[in-house]
Structure 1
Amino acid sequence: MVGKSRAALVAAVVVLSMGCVLSAQAQAPTQGYPNRLIRILQGFPPGGNVDIIARILGAEMEKTLGQSIVVEAKPGLAGALAAETVARSDPDGYTLLVLPSAHPAYGALAKNVKFKVVDDFTWISVASFYPFMIAVKADSRFKTIKQLLDEAKARPGELKYGSAGVGSILHTTVELLGNQTKTKFLHVPYRGEAPAITGVLTGDVDFIAATTGPISSRIKSGEFRALAVTGKTRWPDFPDVPTVDETVAPGFEVISWTGVAGPANMPKPIVDRLNGEVRKALAVPDVKQKLQAMGGDPRGTTPDEMKDLVSRQYETWKKLAAEANISIN
C-alpha cells in the first residue's frame, strides 16, 4: 500500500509539474510584451484616411508601449489584402491591422473572400467613428431628404448618385437607403470619393453619400447642402442637419469607423494591453484634435463591442447583397 501511495504521489507531482510548465509556456508570450518592433498593416494607399489614422495611433502608442511601431500600406481589394495577411499572421501581438468599416461591407459583397470576416480576427478597439452626409450642391432644387426621395419615387431609377466605386461604402449606403425606402436610384461609380464629389458639383450626378472628412468643410463653405446624416444621432458639427432615421427611414443607420484588430486567438493579456493603449492614445489632446479635424468622433470601445459592431454590419450588408442583388466579382 505504501508503494502504491508513493507511486500515486509521484504521478501527481509529475502531472502538477507538467501543468506548471504548460502554464508557463502559455504565459511566456505575454510576459514582457512588447519586446520587439510591432507592425501595423493597413489596406489602402499611403496618405488616405485609414493610413493617416494608423500613423497617428502608431506614433502615440509607441511612446507608451516602449517599442517602435511601423505602419505598412498593403493596398488592394478595399483593404482585403492587408486583412488576409494579418489573418494568417501569428497571434502574438506583433502584427496588427488598422481597418475601416469597408471590412464587413467588402466581406459581405465580394464573392471570393479569403478569410472569415469576423472570426479570423481578434477585435481590439474602434478608434474613430464618423457617419456619412447625404449631400447635394448648394443650388440644388432639393432642400430636404424627403424632397429628394419623393422625386426619386416619382421617377424610379432616374435620380443619379455618385460613389467611390461599385461595392464601396458610399455605394452600399445609398443602396441601403433605397432598399429600406423602396426607392430606386441610378448609380454612377467613380474611381474614388473625390471625383464623385466633383461629379455632384458639375451636375453629372444629383447627390452623394460622402464621408464627413472630405465634405464637412465644403458644406461649411457653401459649396454643398447637407440633407441628412446617416448616423442614429445628429452630428455635432451640423446640429441642424436631421438624420435619415428621423426623417425618411426609421431605424436607418450607417456609421463608418476605423479601428484596430489582430489575428484570431491573440492572448487576452495582450488584447487588454493594446485596448488600453488605444484608449490612452485617444485621450491625448493632440491625437483627439487630429482625428476630429478629419471629421471623426474619437472614441474607444471594448473588444466585445467592436466585434459586435463588425458582426452587425456584416449581417446588414449580407442582407442588402441578397435583397438588392449586389456583389463584387
Structure 2
Amino acid sequence: MHRRHVLAACGAAALGWPTLSAWAQAYPERAIKLYQGFAPGGNADAIARAVGTEMAKALGQPVVVEAQSGAGGTIAATTVARAKPDGYSLLLATGGHAVAGALYNTLPYKSVADFEMVSTITFFPFLMVVNANSKIQSLREVIANAQAAPGSVGYGTAGVGSTHHLAGELLAKMARVSLLHVPYRGDAASITALLAGDVPFIIAPPTAVLTNIQAGKLRAIATTGLQRWPGLPNVPTVAEQGVTGYDVRSWAGLMAPTGTPRAVVERLHAEVLRALQAPAVRQRLEDMGGEARGSTPEEMKTMVSHEIEKWQQVVADAKIPKQ
C-alpha cells in the first residue's frame, strides 16, 4: 500500500510539472505590482518607475509602481513577504532593507528567507559634505580634529538608524575616533542645518546635495564607495584618506515572495538585466548618482546577507538602540 501511494504521488508530480511549466511560460497574464517603501517622487520611486517601465515593454503587461512609505521600507516589504508567490507582487528593496534587518528587534518577515532575490539594479555612494565656507578641506582633517577632541566633531544625517547614520558610525569605528551624531528629519533638514553652520559636516546621497554643490554653497570632501563617484571625480574616497577598506554604498534591487517559481524568477531576472542595458534607464540611474549593475539571484542573496551582518555589528558596537 505504501509503495502504491508513493507511485501515485510521483505520478501526480509528473503530471503537475507540465502544468507549472506552461503556467510559467504564460507569465505574466496581468499587471504586476512593484511596491517600494518610500515617498512618491523619491529615489526609490524613480528607480522603480525607470526599471519597471522598461521591463513592461518586454513582459507585455504593465508594471504598476505602488508606494507604501513608512517604517524604513518595512511596510512595503511586509506586503510583498505576505503576498501570493506568483510573480505579481514584487519589491523594490533598497539598502534600507538590510539596515532594517539589523536595526529592528522584530520584523513581520525574515529579511532574506522570506524573499526570492531577483537581481540588484543600482549601487550608489554617499557623500560627506561641508559648508563651502568651512575651513575643513578634507576628511583627514575631520579625523584629526576628532582625534584631538573626542566626541566634539558632529555630523548630520537624515535620522537615527538611517544608512547615513550607520555610515558615520562605521567611519568612527574604522578610523578609531569618536564622532557626535546629529540626527535630522530627512536630508533636506540636515542640508539646511549645514548651510546655517549648525553642524560641521553631513552624510547624504548625491541627489540630495549635488544642486547645492554645483551652486557653490556646499563642498564634498569624501565619497563613501570604493571608487570615486563619476559625478565628482575630483573628490577622493574615504579609503583614499586613510580609512582603508571603508566601503558604504546603498543599493536597490528586485525581490519576490519566497516560493515564487524559479521559472518566474528567471524571467524577471532576464528582464531586469535587459532593462539595465537600455540607455534611458542607465542615464536615469546615473543622474541619481547610481551605477547600473545587475546580479544573479544568488549573488544578490549573498550581498544582502553580508550587508545585514555588517550593519548588525555596527549597531552593536555603536550601542544604537534597537527599534
TM more than 0.5: yes
> CA offset at residue 190 of structure 1?
0.9
Amino acid corresponding to residue 195 of structure 2 in structure 1: L
Matches within 5 A, 1:141-290: 141-290=135-284
Q: 1:15 to 1:181 in 2, by over 3 A?
A: closer
Q: CA separation in 1, counterparts of 2:214 and 2:39?
A: 28
Give the alignment partner of residue 100 of structure 1, picking from 94, 101, 113: 94
Q: Is the 8 A contact 2:37 2:69 kept in 1?
A: yes
Q: CA separation in 1, counterparts of 2:111 and 2:239?
A: 27
Give the aligned partner of residue 311 of structure 2. Answer: 317
Give the alignment partner of residue 115 of structure 2, picking from 118, 121, 127: 121
Q: CA separation in 2, counterparts of 1:120 and 1:13?
A: 32
TM-score (ref. length: structure 2): 0.94
Higher mean alpha-carbon deviation, 15-24 vs 147-156, is at 15-24
Amino acid corresponding to residue 135 of structure 2 in structure 1: R
Q: Secondary structure at the match of 2:33?
A: strand
Q: CA separation in 1, counterparts of 2:21 and 2:280?
A: 35
Amino acid corresponding to residue 247 of structure 2 in structure 1: E
Larger radius of gyration: 1
Give the aligned partner of residue 4 of structure 1. Answer: none
Higher mean alpha-carbon deviation, 168-177 vs 218-227, is at 218-227
Q: CA separation in 2, counterparts of 1:154 and 1:202?
A: 25
Q: 1:156 to 1:67 in 2, by over 3 A?
A: same
> CA offset at residue 15 of structure 1?
6.5
Amino acid corresponding to residue 243 of structure 2 in structure 1: A
Deviations 1:121-153 (A, max 9, x none): 111111111001111111111101110110011
Q: CA separation in 2, counterparts of 1:274 and 1:14?
A: 34
Q: Is the 8 A contact 1:111 1:327 kept in 2?
A: no
Amino acid corresponding to residue 145 of structure 1 in structure 2: L
> CA offset at residue 200 of structure 1?
0.9
Q: Is the 8 A contact 1:213 1:296 kept in 2?
A: no
Higher mean alpha-carbon deviation, 236-245 vs 270-279, is at 236-245
> CA offset at residue 17 of structure 1?
3.6
> CA offset at residue 323 of structure 1?
1.1
Give the aligned partner of residue 302 of structure 2. Answer: 308
Q: Is the 8 A contact 1:29 1:92 kept in 2?
A: no
Q: Is the 8 A contact 1:110 1:327 kept in 2?
A: no
Q: Secondary structure at the match of 1:31?
A: helix
Q: Is the 8 A contact 1:90 1:263 kept in 2?
A: yes
Q: CA separation in 1, counterparts of 2:26 and 2:10?
A: 25
Q: Secondary structure at the match of 1:287?
A: helix
TM-score (ref. length: structure 1): 0.92
> CA offset at residue 16 of structure 1?
6.0
The answer to whether residue 124 in structure 2 is matched with residue 130 in structure 1 is: yes
Q: CA separation in 2, counterparts of 1:316 and 1:224?
A: 30
Q: Is the 8 A contact 1:161 1:188 kept in 2?
A: yes
Q: Is the 8 A contact 2:158 2:204 kept in 1?
A: no
Q: CA separation in 2, counterparts of 1:307 and 1:213?
A: 27
Q: CA separation in 2, counterparts of 1:89 and 1:19?
A: 25
Gaps of 5+ in 1: 1-7
Deviations 1:257-291 (A, max 9, x none): 11111111222211111111111112111121122
Q: 1:11 to 1:38 in 2, by over 3 A?
A: closer
Q: CA separation in 2, counterparts of 1:293 and 1:206?
A: 27
Q: Secondary structure at the match of 2:26?
A: coil
> CA offset at residue 191 of structure 1?
0.9
CA RMSD of aligned residues (A): 1.9
Higher mean alpha-carbon deviation, 111-120 vs 192-201, is at 111-120
Q: CA separation in 1, counterparts of 2:8 and 2:304?
A: 45
Give the percent of matched residue pairs that are identical in Structure 1 and Structure 2. 44
